[in-house]
Chain A
Amino acid sequence: MNARDPTPLWIKGARVIDPASGRDEAKGDLFAVDGRLVARLTPAQLAKARKVDARGLVAAPGFVDLNCRLGQPGRSARESIATGTRAAAAGGFTTLLAMPDTLPCVDHPGTLQLIHDICETDAAVRVLPAGALTKGLAGKALAPIGSLAKAGVVAVTDTVGGVENNEIMRRALEYAAMFGLVVLDHCQDSSMTEGAQMHEGAVSLRLGLRGFPSAAEEVVAASDCALAELTGARIHLQHLSAARTVDAVRRARSRGARVSAEVSPLHLLLTDRALAGYDPNLKLNPPLREEGDRQALLAGLAEGVIEAIASDHSPCTATEKDREFDLAPFGAATLEVAFAAAHEAVVLGGVADLPTLLARLTSGPARILGIEAGTLAEGRPADIALLDPKAGWVFRARDSASLAGNHALEGRRLRGRVKATFVGGRKVT
């Protein structure tokens, strides 16, 4: 990826929102030179600048995604770095944290190098690989976290499946903290979720599907919080889905524990009722839960207990999903609809204003990773999303840049659309 456009950039007349600095300017301009944001252009630069008329649009920092999968290596029928990053660009994302559950998984610096090499030539946006927390993501022994840190990972996680042994999690937190790495955990007690297909509740009872009880998430979130307090290390809880988990995070944070959390756009927008027709593209892990859970997630997001919205983009092929519900894999492709879904749930739902929503997509996740992204501050990379919050549109899989065949929200009327995305001052969509 060449993330530095030598042509100066001039975005004119946008509503400029930069949550990191609190800037919200009704009619403002953005300038970039050599891929970085600058306060103004010289007359010579102005003359040759690429001018973008952004009247009526919102200019925000490019979104930072803490949770996605890009297929490579090993799952390239589902997605590739080329297609996944183009889908990300179409969705306004300019920095992606790619989960390590590839084939092979990212528990070795060699795999990391391979990903870096593919990204160098294929990626349309910035890709930051996350490393495995344990060898083979098996939850038994620590992965070579120091070597992975040296090779460039910014976070470590075992993703789906998580680490369930509290001793290993405790030591992982202490060990990763030496390198300044944040540990991410998918909270789930798998002894409570064997054979589970959706949220355990009235809808699962009606449909005859085994359920994930909310408590299976809550108990692990609670133990994670306790371990964060014990070790003083940072832990980030991935895609919360249950109301009581939000409470657990709120309580831990109020005691000063270094716990952060994210939520996916689909969990903000939908509930288990959307599964009445056994739609395999809404079969998610963690599952869509109930209206009370959704409201709690929205409240936690507005309040800042949940600092980030992460796409949880989990591509699958259409063939993998085109089968009996309980045999279909979990996950949905979401990068292209993430903003629209979150916008509908949060802003149009009256829960929080647009700058707050954008904070959760930009400065929030950047702060969790400790990276210099997600802001429009002078000197920072010119990673910008141009948005039209009023635009109504319908997402169609055939228009998607992603290889995935498991798009969520296909055919749904959406409001809020990404019009253009810039990475290092270069227009990528």
Chain B
Amino acid sequence: MAPTTRWKSKDLIGIDPLGEDDIGMVFREADRFLPALSRAGGLSLLKGHTVVNLFLEPSTRTRTAFDISAKRLGAEVVSIDTSASSLVKGETLRDTALNIEALKADAIVLRHSSAGAAAYLARQVGISVINAGDGAHEHPTQALLDAYTLRRRFGKVAGLKVTILGDILFSRVARSNILCLGKLGAEVTVAGPATLVPERLAEAFPGVRIERDLRKALARADAVMLLRIQHERQTTTHFPSLGEYTSQFGLNAARAAWLKPGAVIMHPGPINRGVEVESDLADGPRSVILDQVSHGVAVRMAVLNLCMGASRR
């Protein structure tokens, strides 16, 4: 099916500005790339292009996925991480970005601890900026690959009931997923400790349900997304200990029994095994965690190709 609309933006800053059509375009493009993942040799759509992975916050998974995605499209990839960057010498993000642009790179994939950093960067440079996570704001490619995984598993996203469990307050994955799933017509429920699931989320994200009863939150779900407990973002006051989190909210066999028969378990990684989910469940038949990882490559190929295509135009 030919796309009815064109991808407009050189950047992917967040899910917020995207329409349902845009998300559909990413999915169609990902469908095109998914078979190529298992084939030897890559594509040459971005041959002669350079993608800079500017990761100013630790990340293995997302950076590797972007790295592979760009290379599969034939692009050259340069990775800059926190310790190697001039930002530790006091260079500003703006100057780093302007230098990358002056070096004639074609896209920057940015991971940054400050909310709003990707939008800020996109205003500074003319080349594509892809947000690979900005503080607790957005992580759009994660949400796209999560929705893509649900679409492949269930055929469609509309009408699905998705429960996001854990640290919603500090999670960019939760924010992007709430927005993305909402735009695609899924029903999103959030659950977790009251300190990390504030009441006003329902006002911030109209349509989101807050469920304080974990059993109900799990029983209604077609998919449950577990979020990583992020030690680096929580101050000490949000819950007493990892052990207490696990005892109150960790997904174990007893709680998994509350799930519907066909329900799946998702996790954006990296998993704290034994904290938010028991190992057996993460590796078990309900888990689509590794599908998420593979789909992440196809979805990021799609995003890079669409944004850099728009940038060329």
**Chain A minimum-CB-distance residue to B171:** A208
- Tell me whether A208 and B136 are in contact (CB under 8 A): yes
Cβ of A324: which chain B residues have Cβ within 8 Å of it?
Answer: 93, 112, 114, 116-117, 120
**Chain B minimum-CB-distance residue to A197:** B115
In-complex Cβ contact of A327 among B114, B136, B200, B205 (8 A): B114
- Tell me whether B204 and A202 are in contact (CB under 8 A): yes
Instruction: Give the distance in Å from the alpha carbon of A209 to the alpha carbon of B115 in the complex.
Output: 7
Cβ of A277: which chain B residues have Cβ within 8 Å of it?
Answer: 119
- Tell me whether A207 and B201 are in contact (CB under 8 A): no
Instruction: Give the distance in Å from the alpha carbon of A201 to the alpha carbon of B114 in the complex.
Output: 18
Instruction: Give the distance in Å from the alpha carbon of A182 to the alpha carbon of B119 in the complex.
Output: 44
- Least CB distance from B89 to A in Å reads 15
The answer to the question of B295 belonging to the interface, with a C-beta cut-off of 8 Å to chain A, is no
Tell me the chain A residues, 195-210 only, with Cβ under 8 Å from chain B: 195, 197, 201-203, 205-209
- Tell me whether B201 and A325 are in contact (CB under 8 A): no
The answer to the question of A29 belonging to the interface, with a C-beta cut-off of 8 Å to chain B, is no
The answer to the question of A393 belonging to the interface, with a C-beta cut-off of 8 Å to chain B, is no
Instruction: Give the distance in Å from the alpha carbon of A197 to the alpha carbon of B137 in the complex.
Output: 13
Instruction: Give the distance in Å from the alpha carbon of A274 to the alpha carbon of B117 in the complex.
Output: 18
Instruction: Give the distance in Å from the alpha carbon of A55 to the alpha carbon of B115 in the complex.
Output: 51
The answer to the question of B99 belonging to the interface, with a C-beta cut-off of 8 Å to chain A, is no
Interface string of A176-193 (1 = CB under 8 A from B): 000000000000000000
The answer to the question of A396 belonging to the interface, with a C-beta cut-off of 8 Å to chain B, is no
- Tell me whether A207 and B94 are in contact (CB under 8 A): no
Interface size class for chain A?
10 to 19
Interface string of B173-210 (1 = CB under 8 A from A): 00100000000000000000000001011011100000
Cβ of B117: which chain A residues have Cβ within 8 Å of it?
Answer: 324-325
- Tell me whether A208 and B175 are in contact (CB under 8 A): yes
Instruction: State whether A202 and B116 are in contact (beta carbons under 8 Å apart), knowing that A208-B175, A322-B94 are contacts in the complex.
Output: no
The answer to the question of A388 belonging to the interface, with a C-beta cut-off of 8 Å to chain B, is no
- Least CB distance from B143 to A in Å reads 13
- Tell me whether A207 and B200 are in contact (CB under 8 A): no
Instruction: State whether A326 and B115 are in contact (beta carbons under 8 Å apart), knowing that A194-B235, A208-B172, A278-B120 are contacts in the complex.
Output: yes
The answer to the question of B82 belonging to the interface, with a C-beta cut-off of 8 Å to chain A, is no
Interface size class for chain B?
20 to 34
Tell me the chain A residues, 317-338 only, with Cβ under 8 Å from chain B: 322-327
- Least CB distance from B57 to A in Å reads 12
- Tell me whether B205 and A278 are in contact (CB under 8 A): no
- Tell me whether A325 and B114 are in contact (CB under 8 A): yes
In-complex Cβ contact of A202 among B115, B137, B200 (8 A): B200
Instruction: Give the distance in Å from the alpha carbon of A197 to the alpha carbon of B115 in the complex.
Output: 10
**Chain A minimum-CB-distance residue to B120:** A324
The answer to the question of B272 belonging to the interface, with a C-beta cut-off of 8 Å to chain A, is no
The answer to the question of B106 belonging to the interface, with a C-beta cut-off of 8 Å to chain A, is no
In-complex Cβ contact of A207 among B92, B115, B198 (8 A): B115
Instruction: Give the distance in Å from the alpha carbon of A162 to the alpha carbon of B120 in the complex.
Output: 32
- Least CB distance from A193 to B in Å reads 11
The answer to the question of B140 belonging to the interface, with a C-beta cut-off of 8 Å to chain A, is no
Instruction: State whether A205 and B201 are in contact (beta carbons under 8 Å apart), knowing that A322-B94, A324-B116, A326-B114 are contacts in the complex.
Output: yes
**Chain A minimum-CB-distance residue to B138:** A208
- Least CB distance from A280 to B in Å reads 9
Cβ of A197: which chain B residues have Cβ within 8 Å of it?
Answer: 115
- Least CB distance from B164 to A in Å reads 14
Tell me the chain A residues, 255-312 only, with Cβ under 8 Å from chain B: 277-278
Cβ of A206: which chain B residues have Cβ within 8 Å of it?
Answer: 175, 204-205
In-complex Cβ contact of A278 among B112, B119, B138 (8 A): B119
- Least CB distance from A206 to B in Å reads 4
**Chain A minimum-CB-distance residue to B206:** A202
Instruction: Give the distance in Å from the alpha carbon of A327 to the alpha carbon of B134 in the complex.
Output: 13
**Chain A minimum-CB-distance residue to B176:** A208
User: Which of B112, B172, B200, B203 has the most A CB atoms < 10 Å from its CB?
Assistant: B200
Name A's B-contacting residues (CB within 8 A). Answer: 194-195, 197, 201-203, 205-209, 277-278, 322-327
Nearest 10 Cβ contacts at the A-B interface: A208-B136, A208-B137, A278-B116, A324-B114, A205-B204, A208-B115, A202-B204, A202-B203, A206-B204, A325-B116
What are 30 A-B contacts with C-beta separation under 8 Å?
A: A194-B235, A195-B235, A202-B204, A205-B203, A206-B175, A206-B204, A206-B205, A207-B115, A208-B115, A208-B136, A208-B175, A209-B115, A209-B135, A278-B115, A278-B119, A322-B94, A323-B92, A323-B93, A323-B94, A324-B93, A324-B112, A324-B114, A324-B117, A325-B114, A325-B115, A325-B116, A325-B117, A325-B120, A326-B114, A326-B135
Name B's A-contacting residues (CB within 8 A). Answer: 92-94, 112, 114-117, 119-120, 134-138, 169, 172, 175, 198, 200-201, 203-205, 235
Told that A195-B235, A324-B117 touch, could you supply 16 new A-B pairs with CB distance under 8 A? Answer: A201-B200, A205-B198, A205-B203, A207-B115, A208-B175, A209-B116, A209-B136, A209-B137, A322-B92, A322-B94, A323-B94, A323-B120, A324-B116, A326-B116, A326-B135, A327-B114
